[in-house]
Amino acid sequence: MKSKAVQDESVFQQAIATVEALSVEDQTILIEIIQNRLRQKKHVQLKQDIEDVRQEYREEQVTALFK
C-alpha cells in the first residue's frame, strides 16, 4: 500500500501532466480561474477569522491591545 504522501504526489504529478497537455492559452485561463478561486477562499477565511476574533473579544476571551 502506498503512503498518503506518495499518493498525493502521484495525484499532483497527474494534475501537472494534465495541465501541461493543455494549450498555452488554456493553461493561462486555468491559472486565472485557480487564482480567482484561491483569492475567494482566502477572502472567506479572512472574514471567518475576523468574526472569530470579534466573538472572542465579545466573550472577553481576548483584550484590546490599544484603547
pLDDT value at residue 61: 78
3-state secondary structure of 44: helix
Residue 19: predicted pLDDT: 97
pLDDT of residue 7: 75
pLDDT tens, the chain, 67 aa long: 667 777 778 999 999 999 999 999 999 999 999 999 999 999 999 999 999 999 988 888 766 667 6
Q: What are the boundaries of each domain within the chain?
A: 23-62
By 3-state DSSP, what share of the chain in percent is helix, strand and coil, each rounded to 5? 80, 0, 20
All three cell numbers of 47, joined, read 472574514
How far out from the chain centre does Cα 51 lie? 19
Tell me what pLDDT residue 26 has: 98
Q: What pTM does this model have?
A: 0.67
